[in-house]
Structure 1
Amino acid sequence: MRFSPSFLDDIRDRVPISDVIGRRVTWDRKKSQPGKGDFWACCPFHSEKSPSFHCEDQKGRYHCFGCGVSGDHFRFLVEAEGMSFPEAVERMAGEAGLALPERDAAAEKRDEQRSTILDALKLSAEFFAGVLQEADGAKARAYLRDRGLNPATQKMFGLGYAPDSRNRLKEFLSGRGVGKAEVEASGMVVHGEGIAVSYDRFRDRVMFPISDAQERIIAFGGRALSSEISAKYLNSPETDVFHKGATLFNIARARRAAKAAGTLVVVEGYMDTIALHQAGFENVVAPLGTALTDRQLELLWRNAAEPILCFDGDNAG
């Protein structure tokens, strides 16, 4: 049976990986920080005297700095207990209180399409980041510099620049083997009835990749550099992988930091979030140009008991 990525993610979110691994190892009390979901132990896969096996609940991953093994909940059960992957999923689904899904050929096809869309979005992020460093990106680099964002911060958030062209991204993706249907499904081009030839959606904009809780790029936000463009900020359209009202900018990084900070702070926009992160406040997220939705509130409460709202002091805030 093929399990959808969303089903596997749901299991990972519900069961801390330290609970799974902790049945087979003894956590080192000196190095481990249970309050932060950060654990160390002697590796169960090779003999050692000092703990080099690291496990992080927020990432749902383990890694041994001694022998190099790494993986997630399912990989651990496969390697440590000799289970098959389906057996590991069945075990973990039971612990998570989830019923195994029925086989659905249509759902499997949708999952394959989602993977292709994610590939296209990842390539798009690489394209935008590359153009930012070219001559065409000089204006965008100046904008980011004027906003006080240093190069390290720009790289951390994967910032980029969409050139003022109708087809550079489309041609780049085509050259990387992404088909026309997948490019359209990713939301990176404008297409449809009455449009003879699709064209790049984002043009002459500073680009902000939007990632999900698993750190996969699922969309983009673009900030116009020309004052003549009416829409200063433009988000990707709704797609199979992106639902604006259910997403928070920077949620993957912020929820890790929320363990230590004890809360999440919600601000209005990308730049607010990034500037605060650069200043040392890493537990900050932002909605995507919308009023805070019920699904965004649910995501906040899932990661912080009492999130703090810190919006602008104007009517919109």
Structure 2
Amino acid sequence: MALDPAFLDELRARTPIAPVIGRRTKLVRSGKNWKGCCPFHGEKTPSFYVYDDHYHCFGCQAHGDVITFVMESEGRTFIEAVEELATAAGMEVPKPDRAQRARAEEARTLGEVLEAVQASWQRRLYQPEGREGLAYLRGRGLTDETIAAFGLGWSGEGRGGLVAEMAEHDITPAMLLEAGVMRADEDGTPRRELFYNRVTFPIRDRRGRLVSFGGRILGDGQPKYLNGPETPIFSKRRVLFGLDRAREGVRGTGAGAELLVVEGYMDVIALHQAGFHGAVAPLGTALTAEQLEALWQVGPAPVLCFDGDAAGQRAAVKAAQTALPLLNVERTLRFCVLPEGEDPDSLVRRDGSAAMAALVEGARPMGQVLFGLLSEGVRNPGPEQRAALRRRLVEVAALIPDKALAAEYRSTLLDSFFETFRRGGGKGAARPAIATAPVAMVDADLQRQCILTAIILEQPVVMGEVQDAYCRLELPADIAALREELLDLYDAQGALPPAEDLAASLSATGLDDVCQRVRAVRGRRGRGRDEDDLFGTDPRREWWHFYALLNVGRFAAEIRGDTERMCAGELDEAAWLSLRTRLLALDALRRGGEDVDE
């Protein structure tokens, strides 16, 4: 029966988990937490940890809360475990109301309908009409034991045979429609079977209850794979194919006990047959937040194994983006990259389970692969592309709600960004010197690049407004390295430190020489009386002035685009203030006689 979530939350709050688990295995303090030998598998070295509200075994991957522990350790149902804990806590389990009882009865009835259909289809697979389906499954390398274990079947030709057979069990077409195995006309009348001429795959929820079917057509029909529709007991967003088996399969150790997420029914079944008992798959859709939550209830770090093609790459990116807002320090994802053109089923059949085990054991943490996923296809980017990618990396890291974890991801992503797209080698590498000839002999654009950088060193507060434009500039290698350090500091702290602290930080990273040289160029150039009149004490307007001088036409075009967005109401107050500053800089250029496109 369904229970009020508020009641369950209060029950967990009133029931400290460590004493409950301590009745089964000896626990000792480990910092703020507890540890001991796992009660679910034999071990001599403790790998079972108990936290404030859950437990986790790093040996067999057992994981759950206090209710789960009572269920798993005592073999009780959910309700039995709740009742036992409620009695100990002095709480009374609430009785279900009439609506709850009606929903429970409906679910029981639909489940019974589906089980009757399953028995029919499973039997048909071994009759003459199912010969083609059985040959297909055996041709995919499945043994009769595996076919039986997963309850695979054959739906028949869809000419009324199922309706007639179910009538003998007092199951009506309306009940078949409600259970999701028949289609309805426009007026809602059940007319024909949904699955026909298909190999059928029973879909069960995490407790092993039959909730729907999937089917694969043989031949050229479309769609190749078909899932049952949404029903009162089935939601594609919440169910993972094979999760009922995977919950038990991840109890052991090694690659075979990893919780693996693959793409299709046959991948799951082939992997189980090959000894990978933790394999599951979403139901023809991208991995959802609800499915991720279900996975993390089984294990803290599932391995995503997507096909080695473009579609698999897109699926991996989508899964990562879905997972980011849900991550915390105790749950994450790992990624297993399959060879291009391969899926788990074909890999196991061709190269054996050892090849798959090697890939699983080499699965990489999400933090290591996220940069590669997000930068896929970026080759030799220009300043605009680098700026856009860098902004995307920062925005992606900000999706993580845990601030400390978000900061770690941001740092990791930006380190990868600078390592991959750095010009002039890594930090601390030898850098070409800026020309030290008299100012008249220094290239005008180089002067402006030095001045822009020097203004940021003198007035670090400017960085918040100009960082995107600064990132787009093509700079000499040594100034580019300084820029990368400045951007790194800005992203790590959300702002640059005051000028003195910034100078000390840059000096500690070996950038003192380049800082002195850009300041020297700015100092040699000096500042005329006219510029004092133009800029006053506003370093932002001065920065935009020299930025514009590098490419007046581009600067005017950028302002024109932002002005259009402002008129459309797309700019916030901060963006408007920045636009106003740039408009003043543009006006100064016009008064100075620069050729500016009106």
CA contact (8 A) 1:189 1:199 kept: yes
Alpha-carbon distance in 1 for matches of 2:142, 2:73: 32
Which residue does 1:91 correspond to in 2? 87
Which residue does 1:220 correspond to in 2? 213
Task: Give the share of equivalent positions with the same residue, in percent.
Answer: 37
- Which one scores higher on RCO, CA 8 angstroms, separation ≥ 6? 1
- The offset of 1:181, in angstroms, is 3.5
Deviations 1:135-190 (A, max 9, x none): 00000011001100010000000000000123222222221122443222100111
- The offset of 1:99, in angstroms, is 9.0
- The offset of 1:257, in angstroms, is 1.5
Which residue does 1:199 correspond to in 2? 192
Alpha-carbon distance in 2 for matches of 1:292, 1:74: 29
Kindly name which structure, 1 or 2, has the bigger radius of gyration based on alpha carbons. 2
Alpha-carbon distance in 1 for matches of 2:203, 2:136: 20
Alpha-carbon distance in 1 for matches of 2:70, 2:197: 34
Which residue does 2:237 correspond to in 1? 245
Which residue does 2:249 correspond to in 1? 257
Structure 1 pair 217–291 and aligned structure 2 pair: CA distance change class (3 A): same
CA contact (8 A) 1:157 1:208 kept: yes
Quick one: which amino acid aligns to residue 198 of structure 2? R
DSSP 3-state at the match of 1:210:
strand
Structure 1 pair 59–249 and aligned structure 2 pair: CA distance change class (3 A): farther
DSSP 3-state at the match of 1:244:
coil
Aligned runs of 1:264-303 on 2, under 5 Å?
A: 264-303=259-298
Q: Which of 158, 165, 172 does residue 172 from structure 1 map onto? A: 165
User: Is 1:60 aligned to residue 71 of structure 2?
Assistant: yes
User: Is 1:304 aligned to residue 307 of structure 2?
Assistant: no
Which residue does 1:42 correspond to in 2? none
Which residue does 2:399 correspond to in 1? none
RMSD: 3.5
**Which TM-score applies when normalising by structure 1?**
0.73
DSSP 3-state at the match of 1:176:
coil
As a proportion of its length, which structure holds more helix? 2
DSSP 3-state at the match of 1:60:
helix
- The offset of 1:58, in angstroms, is 8.4
Structure 1 pair 235–74 and aligned structure 2 pair: CA distance change class (3 A): closer
Alpha-carbon distance in 2 for matches of 1:90, 1:58: 14
Q: Which of 226, 241, 257 does residue 234 from structure 1 map onto? A: 226
Structure 1 pair 6–299 and aligned structure 2 pair: CA distance change class (3 A): farther
**Which TM-score applies when normalising by structure 2?**
0.40
Quick one: which amino acid aligns to residue 161 of structure 1? W
Aligned runs of 1:81-160 on 2, under 5 Å?
A: 88=84, 90-91=86-87, 100-101=93-94, 103-160=96-153
User: Where in structure 1 are there 5+ consecutive unaligned residues?
Assistant: 28-32, 40-56, 64-69, 78-85
User: Is 1:209 aligned to residue 202 of structure 2?
Assistant: yes
Alpha-carbon distance in 2 for matches of 1:144, 1:311: 22
- The offset of 1:61, in angstroms, is 6.2
Structure 1 pair 74–296 and aligned structure 2 pair: CA distance change class (3 A): closer
DSSP 3-state at the match of 2:308:
coil
Alpha-carbon distance in 2 for matches of 1:149, 1:247: 24
Q: Which of 308, 311, 315 does residue 310 from structure 2 map onto? A: 315
User: Where in structure 2 are there 5+ consecutive unaligned residues?
Assistant: 27-35, 43-67, 313-598
- The offset of 1:72, in angstroms, is 3.8
DSSP 3-state at the match of 1:220:
strand
CA contact (8 A) 1:168 1:200 kept: no
Structure 1 pair 22–169 and aligned structure 2 pair: CA distance change class (3 A): farther
Which residue does 1:81 correspond to in 2? none
